[in-house]
Amino acid sequence: MTHSVFVQPLPRRGLLILAGSGLALLLASCRSTEVLTVSDDAAQPETDAALPLVNALRARNGLSTLSKSPAAETAAIFQARRMARADKMSHVIGFNDSFFSRMKAGEVPLPAAENIATGQDTVERAVQAWIDSKKHLENMLGRYNGLGVAVARAPSSANRPFWAMVLSA
């Protein structure tokens, strides 16, 4: 199972498009109740493993390569952990949450996009699931420079993996 989201910066507002559902929401100054921080012990190898896979895909499509983005990686770690903690795959978790607010709080350069998935046991399988999905593929082939990928496991559901990929300007 996978989901995708894309946001462009707008003056004082963010446009959030939930791919797959065809639903578009205009969010006015929503604030997330959580602060986008990740402890120093949070280093994960998922970005390093995903980067050559995504860059090979982009090269096959005549696009420039992406670089590891600390801000995008922090945002991906944060989102993967939120989903695992809630045991729910969703871009929006809780009241007053928004993708735009999370990206802004994490100083992720906009435009940015987020792909999420659950159930894949390796980064290669998560990236392949996104490649096999039109909207996720569009995100990975977008005009981005940075990448961050993370996984977190939900102990409440037998270590079910929750994946997040953040692409940034």
Q: 28-63: per-residue pLDDT in tens?
A: 233 333 434 444 444 568 999 999 999 999 999 999
Cα separation, 133 vs 123, whole angstroms: 16
pLDDT at 32: 34
3-state secondary structure of 102: helix
How far, in Å, CA of 152 to CA of 163, rounded? 7
Q: Which domains does the chain have, with CATH numbers?
A: 58-168 (3.40.33.10)
Mean pLDDT by runs of 10 across the 169 residues of the chain is: 47 35 32 39 78 98 97 96 90 82 93 96 97 97 98 87 97
Residue 46 · residue 115 · CB < 8 Å: no
